Amino acid sequence: MKAKELMIGDWVQISEFCKYHGAIGRIKTLIEHKDNENAYFKVFLQNNTIHIGIEDICSDDIRPIPLTPEILEKNGFEKALQLSNTEPSDIDEEGNKHYSYNKTFWGWWQPDNILSIPANGLGWLNIKYVHQLQHALRLCGIEKEITL
């Protein structure tokens, strides 16, 4: 990943090329970054529920974590029922699921594994990864710790 895509607190996964491959972690701080070169982050790593510790990880060894309906639901997002023709359903005609968080933040979970949220009259913002959801929540002023 590129350093400019990440913020402090973002959840990431370590790629298979690193000795910590498969572990997930949270970005703690940017250590070193030079234009056109790799960035190094201090990342608090864990594997399942085992805490590995804080390690220096190169941006080339960091991968985004795909967002899933399970992650949304684990973090308090609720499926909302939509009324279609005669039957209430949690899936619309195109296969989209409507999710909301505290009735203030909402979006459509699409069959191609993207959460689309309205961008204040500017169209739709498509969220594919956990760190993107974290950024969107922060921009909306919602202080929410994401749990994996």
Q: Is the pLDDT of residue 129 over 70?
A: yes
In tens, the pLDDT along 10-33 reads 999 998 777 888 889 999 998 877
How much is the pLDDT for 82? Answer: 55
Rounded mean pLDDT of the chain?
83
- HEC states along the chain? CCHHHCCCCCEEEECCCCCCCCCEEEEEEEEEECCCCCEEEEEEEEECCEEEEEEEEEHHHEECCECCHHHHHHCCCEECCEEECCEEECECCCCCEEEEECCCEEEEEECCCEEEEECCCCCEEEECEHHHHHHHHHHCCCCCCCCC
Pair 14, 62: CB distance under 8 Å: yes
Rounded to two decimals, the pTM is 0.83
User: Residue ranges per domain, the chain?
Assistant: 3-63, 69-139
Which residue's structure tokens are 């309205």?
118
Q: Which of 25-39, 70-84, 88-102 has the lowest mean pLDDT?
A: 88-102
Q: What is Dmax (Cα atoms) for the chain?
A: 59
What is the pLDDT confidence band of residue 119, given thresholds at 50, 70 and 90? Answer: confident
Q: Is the pLDDT of residue 86 over 80?
A: no
In tens, the pLDDT along 48-78 reads 666 788 888 988 899 999 999 999 999 999 8
Q: What is the CATH number of domain 3-63?
A: 2.30.30.30
What percent of the chain shows pLDDT beyond 90? 34
Q: Kindly list the distances between the CA atom of residue 74 and the CA atoms of 57, 65, 101, in Å, as whole numbers in the listed order.
A: 27, 15, 11
